[in-house]
Structure 1
Amino acid sequence: MRGALAAAILCLPVVVLASLVTISWDELIEVDQRAILAATGVTRSHPALFDALITWQEIFLPWHVYLAALPIAIWTWVRGLRGRTIWGVATMLIGWNLGLQAKLIVERARPLYDDPVSRAPGFSFPSGHAFNTAMMLVTSLIMAWPLLRRWPSPARVAVVAAAAVVIVLTALDRVFLGVHFPSDVVAGVLLALGLAFASYLGYRYEPRRESR
């Protein structure tokens, strides 16, 4: 119950964004469209940037992202955080599905503009790449935090900062390739953060958990 309530509160900004997208709020649509045209203009003018963006896109496919979480799950399991590991893996897998369902609910079309630099199938809101990358990294950090907090402070900061940079770069990748609006990637990241932290709050207050 605590987790469901937290999810309703933490994911409220995404619901608001989805509502604005659904009613085609002029101000949001204009900002999104201008950003896409500006970003793709930069990409179109820099072939090396385009190649880097395509490579990043392939590396951060959802199934690649969640496969990368496997060593972290093995690490936490072996180090005795078994309940926490089960929670983390379940949260990531359920989150992956919820992200797909969100696309089907909103059904936003991909950006349309002249001379596209790239194309992608499916619906646009929220961004699957941004959502799944944030979902995996945030959940993995929470799952492994009892082990990470034993590390020196600079190392912990570096890990968290690296995760944040990867999330931001993945979001930018989608916009500069012109396959997602800025509101799509913002919604993807916010949805991932909301679901991950709501799930952890629900897990944290369950009885008979190992030490946190």
Structure 2
Amino acid sequence: MVLASTATAAVSVPFALALVLVESRWPPLYRLDRGTAERLHRTALEHPAWVRVLEFFTGVVWDPVTMRLLVAALVVWLLTRRAWRLAAWAGVTAASGAVIGFLVKNVVERARPHLPEPVAHAPGFSFPSGHAMTAVTSCAVLLLVLLPLVPRAWRPLPWALAAVAVVGVGYTRVALGVHWVSDVVGGWLLGLAVVTATTLAFEAWRADTGRPRTAVSEGLEPEISGAGDPEALPSGTAPE
């Protein structure tokens, strides 16, 4: 747990730095945010059909509700397989990400972009992007749980799909003029910090049962792909 706390603190440093730069209105970051928003806004005004495509992906495919429903379905599936620890990790990661993101938004209270002739609207505050943070936490949960079920030769595909979803969400939010670039980056970094914290806690929990450490490329619990009770103790290990 000490290792988990230390690693989480280290991963949280980039988000803390991003927050400080946003709050201080650091001129280079301000220029990047403003310049990117205005450039993408001009493109959106010139291509209404492209705006509809962006709205479909950000409002349906990569919407936080869609992402959380996928995680909820995964949790139910894990419970049917009696993978209690893994189900708890998935649920806690998704829920804590949502709560932390909401709390940080309301503490920072950053205004969303105000652009002439806006092509989209979004309620609430801007930093960090809830869409971006949810994409990171949800994709991480789906990947780390389901990777053991994917043949090794095919594993680059889900990683690529997750990367497309995370980057795609960020692009749609900025291109539609409802977030600054720094909002999206902040959402990514905060989501990564949450996943790191819960994953390292899960690894410590797993080690307490005598199971070996796993690589991220193998998924959190490779035993989920085998037959039988995924929570069964390793051979030769007696319950406390």
Number of residue pairs matched by the alignment = 209
Q: Unpaired runs of 5+ in structure 2?
A: 213-220, 222-240
Q: 1:43·1:49 contact (CA, 8 Å) conserved in 2? A: yes
Q: Which residue of 2 aligns with 1:137?
A: 139
Cα distance in 2 for partners of 1:152, 1:94 equals: 30
Q: Which residue of 2 aligns with 1:161?
A: 160
Q: What pairs up with 1:159-198 in 2 under 5 angstroms?
A: 159-198=158-197
Q: 1:126·1:188 contact (CA, 8 Å) conserved in 2? A: yes
Shift of 1:80: 4.4
Q: Which residue of 2 aligns with 1:72?
A: 74
TM-score of the pair, normalised by structure 1: 0.91
Q: Which residue of 1 aligns with 2:109?
A: 107
Cα distance in 1 for partners of 2:94, 2:48 equals: 34
Give the letter for the 2:160 counterpart: A
1:95 matches 2:97? yes
Change (3 A) 1:41 1:154: farther
1:19 matches 2:15? no
Q: Which residue of 2 aligns with 1:51?
A: 52
Cα root mean square deviation, aligned: 1.8
Q: Deviations over 1:116-162 (max 9, x none)?
A: 221211111110111111111112212334x33xx322321111111
SS in 2 for 1:179: coil
TM-score of the pair, normalised by structure 2: 0.81
Q: Which residue of 2 aligns with 1:10?
A: 11
* Structure ID, larger Rg: 2
Q: Which residue of 2 aligns with 1:34?
A: 35
Cα distance in 2 for partners of 1:129, 1:110 equals: 14
Change (3 A) 1:66 1:32: same
Shift of 1:33: 0.2
Cα distance in 2 for partners of 1:209, 1:63 equals: 37
Shift of 1:98: 0.5
Cα distance in 2 for partners of 1:162, 1:171 equals: 14
